[in-house]
Amino acid sequence: MSPATRTTGEAERGSASAEFVLVGGLLTLLTLAVLQLGLAMYVRNVVHDAAVEGAHHAALADSDQARGIERTRSVIERAVGPQYADDVTAAFTTTGGAASVTVTVRTVLPLVGLLGVPAALEVSASAPVETLP
């Protein structure tokens, strides 16, 4: 049969499997990208919540900065792993004229799974310092 006499159905024979592979590949990449974004947001939220908890712990009347850092590291290590709790600092600051403690965490921003750019994610949290009357 010559090419001029072929019907449309014969000319497109086998194209469904090629289209499936192309569309399936794009959908897989899109799904993985959304999952990776969700993981990055989860890590950011865990690190931020750990910084908040560490700042509140360090701001207690019978506590200090070292205990706040220790608490922050503990929360991060339990939730996402010890490699995310390497760079945690705390400092006494003034916020709105009141003494406060600020905990800052610099950690990995996950780009492929849990692997990513070191020190690309930085979060801070403050809490007012409690004083005994």
Three state DSSP letters for 33-102: HHHHHHHHHHHHHHHHHHHHHHHHHHCCCCCCHHHHHHHHHHHHHHHCCHHHCCEEEEEEEEECCEEEEE
The tens digit of pLDDT for each residue in 20-38 reads: 889 999 999 999 999 999 9
Q: Which residue, 76, 101, 98, is CA-closest to 87?
A: 76
Give the pLDDT band of residue 7 (cuts 50, 70, 90). low
The tens digit of pLDDT for each residue in 63-74 reads: 899 999 999 999
Domain borders along the chain are 17-128
Mean pLDDT of the chain: 90
**Confidence (pTM):** 0.81
